[in-house]
């Protein structure tokens, strides 16, 4: 039955090995662009929908140690702000292919400090044990472990300049 290409192989001699697709190494610029775009979209999604889910989970599961806010009056503005700041942290993930995740930490801390300076009055007036504040801190601290993952991803796919080879060997 070797004439029929759709017939299953009759024994092991007919089985051919399918070669693994070759991984094409990318430049740091390509990796940085992909990390920035994915980080911006992911940060916006996590900053809005993830923040809302975190608030709901904290309200349902952890309200005795934490407190419910007395009023969710202007909560939509807070969600927009958290989404905006999280998307900016995501865009900044584009520096990870250049400086690794350890180089991203000062940029992240600078961003947190700028958020504090811009919204200082808000942070001084609100109680920090309220569920939305705890969820906001969780969302704002999330880019650091994501930067570690982006650093590992960029290290696997990066091309060493001038050599035309990958930084890591395929297993």
43 domain-assigned: yes
**Quick one: which of 105, 75, 110, 78 has its CA closest to 93?**
105
The pLDDT score that the predictor gives to residue 159 is 63
164 domain-assigned: no
The string of pLDDT tens digits covering residues 60-85 is 888 788 888 777 767 888 889 899 99
129 domain-assigned: yes
CA distance 84 to 43: 8
Structure token digits, residue 126: 């609100």
115 domain-assigned: yes
71 domain-assigned: yes
Q: What's the total number of domains in the chain?
A: 1
75 domain-assigned: yes
The string of pLDDT tens digits covering residues 89-111 is 999 999 999 888 899 999 999 99
Q: Tell me the residue range of the domain where 142 lies.
A: 30-153
The string of pLDDT tens digits covering residues 16-73 is 666 777 767 788 888 889 999 999 999 999 999 999 999 889 888 887 888 887 777 6
10 domain-assigned: no
92 domain-assigned: yes
**At a CB cut-off of 8 Å and minimum separation 6, what does 39 contact?**
87, 89, 90, 91, 92, 93, 94, 143, 146, 150
């Amino acid at each position: 039955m070797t004439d029929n290409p759709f017939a299953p192989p009759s024994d092991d001699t007919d089985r051919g090995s399918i070669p693994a697709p070759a991984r094409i190494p990318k430049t740091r610029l390509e990796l940085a662009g992909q990390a920035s775009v994915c980080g911006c979209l992911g940060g916006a999604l996590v900053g809005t929908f993830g923040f809302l889910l975190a608030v709901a989970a904290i309200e349902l599961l952890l309200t005795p140690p934490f407190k419910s806010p007395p009023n969710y009056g202007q909560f939509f503005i807070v969600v927009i702000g958290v989404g905006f700041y999280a998307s900016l942290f995501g865009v900044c993930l584009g520096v990870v292919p250049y400086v690794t995740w350890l180089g991203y930490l000062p940029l992240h801390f600078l961003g947190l400090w700028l958020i504090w300076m811009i919204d200082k009055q808000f942070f001084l007036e609100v109680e920090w044990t309220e569920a939305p504040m705890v969820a906001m801190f969780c969302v704002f601290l999330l880019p650091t472990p994501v930067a570690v993952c982006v650093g590992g991803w960029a290290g696997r796919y990066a091309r060493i300049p001038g050599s035309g080879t990958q930084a890591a060997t395929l297993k």
